[in-house]
Amino acid sequence: MTPVNLKSLAKELNMSIATVSRALRDSHEVSEATKQRVRALAAARHYEPNAYASSLRRNISKTIGVVIPKVANHFFALAINGIEEAARQAGYHVLIYLTHDDYEREVSIVQHLKGGRVDGLLMSVASSTQDFAHLRGLKEANIPIVFFDRVCAEINTAKVTTNDYESGYQATEHLIRAGCRHIAHLLISNNLSIGQFRQQGYLDALMAHGHAPDPGLILHGVMDNEQNVALIRELLLRRPDIDGIFASVERLAISTYHVCKELGRRIPEDIKVIGFSNLEAAALLDPPLSTITQPAYDIGREAAKILLRAVEKKKAVLPGQSVVLESALFARRSTAG
């Protein structure tokens, strides 16, 4: 099995390696006749350039890395879809890394990536991440980074998010208008900016409509879903006055459904529910779940395009622009007045 590379092609064609290389890259400084011969043989031999040799020489990998907490989550799956699309169109490859929301793993991944395996990085930070030293080093490594959805405020670079504050406000206002007087807010307890924005929207909407925020109505969920179910059950039993729930995370909305069924609390008659969710089947739930749905595909695509633009220009540092795409509110029977 003789290897098919520039050298073997050049030998068979009786020309230099450089000429073959130029011909295949369609250089203007090579005759059309030569190009034809080279291309013909390359096709016949099924020549494929060695990506690593090329990367090493040009110091460009034509690869971007995507670091996300998880992939078994409709939001991230759709985002990857958008990222892959943008990357493919630009001739880039996509490396996937999952942090599982683990800080150590995130650090390890990012550290490794500084070795030059990727030309740029797309990232949604892990919820457990608080120290961002590992991200600062990227600038020195000449690797631009674009955050999407779960951004890191401390790093000055491009960010693509959704209008989380407004969405939280709208969701809460929607419940208020549907007649809810005691609206609980379920969120995952971490230091992610999106959670904070959504919560602030919730709080401000309450205030704007003359409802006094009640700390006892805010439930901080955890990673383990079993525990969340227990926490929600406890909350609903402790506060039977709750007549509305705004879940900041899809999983908490789903768990709310389970608990309500268990406790015999009817949705939406007893409690109205709305949640952040990208669940396709939300409309088919029993009852249908009202949702705030993020344009996940567009977020991924937009973030990738911004990154690739920077990569092409060899800009290691991106301007701290913040692109905000809008989520959509789908009111369904779960919040019917």
Question: What residues line the site for DNA (CB under 7 A)?
Answer: 3, 5-7, 14-19, 21-22, 24-25, 28-34, 49-50, 53-54, 56-59
Q: Tokens for 98?
A: 């999952």
Cα(65)–Cα(248) distance, rounded to whole angstroms? Answer: 28
Q: Which two tokens stand for residue 122?
A: 């797309």
Which entry of DNA, a second copy, none binds 193, CB below 5 to 8 A by partner kind?
none
Shortest reach from residue 182's CB to a second copy, in Å? 24
Q: From DNA, a second copy, none, which one binds at residue 222 (CB under 5 to 8 Å depending on kind)?
A: none
CA 242, CA 235: separation in Å to the nearest integer?
9
Which run of H or E residues covers position 293? strand 290-293
Q: How far is the CB of 244 from DNA (least distance, A)?
A: 58
What is the contact surface with a second copy in residues (CB under 8 A)?
A: 1, 46, 48-53, 55-56, 61, 63, 70-74, 77-78, 80-81, 84-85, 88, 93-98, 111-112, 114-117, 137, 140-142, 254, 257-258, 279-282, 284-288, 297
Q: What are phi and psi of 23, to 5 degrees?
A: -60, -45
CB of 242 to a second copy, least distance (A): 20
Least distance from DNA to the Cβ atom of residue 122, Å: 24
**Please, which residue, 63 or 161, has the CB nearer to a second copy?**
63
Task: Considering the complex, state which of residue 51 and residue 324 has its C-beta at the smaller distance from DNA.
Answer: 51
Residue 50: partners with Cβ closer than 8 Å, 6 or more residues away: 5
The smaller minimum CB distance to a second copy, of residues 239 and 333, is found at 333
Q: What is the DSSP string of 152-201?
A: -TTS-S-EEEE-HHHHHHHHHHHHHHTT-SSEEEEEE-S--HHHHHHHHH
Q: Which is nearer to a second copy, 136 or 181 (CB)?
A: 136
Q: Which residue lies nearer to DNA by CB, 142 or 200?
A: 142
Strand, coil or helix: 329? strand
21 binds, among a second copy, DNA, none (CB under 5 to 8 A by kind): DNA
112 makes contact, choosing from a second copy, DNA, none, with CB < 5 to 8 Å by partner type, with: a second copy
Residue 22 interacting entry, from a second copy, DNA, none, C-beta within 5 to 8 Å by type: DNA
Asked if 160 and 152 count as a contact pair (C-beta separation under 8 A), the reply is no
Euclidean distance between CA atoms 292 and 275, whole angstroms: 6
- State the nearest-atom distance from the C-beta of 115 to a second copy, in Å: 3
Cα gap 229→206, rounded to integer Å: 25
Least distance CB 56 / a second copy (angstroms): 4
Q: Of 285, 283, 262, whose CA–CA distance to 328 is shortest?
A: 283
The enclosing H or E element of 322 equals: strand 322-325
Select from a second copy, DNA, none the partner in contact with residue 156, using the beta carbon and a kind-dependent cut-off of 5 to 8 Å: none
Please, what is the minimum distance in Å from the beta carbon of residue 33 to DNA? 7
Q: What is the DSSP letter of 286?
A: S
- Spatial separation of the C-alpha atoms in residues 40 and 94, rounded to whole Å: 30
The entry of DNA, a second copy, none near residue 165 (CB within 5 to 8 angstroms by kind) is none
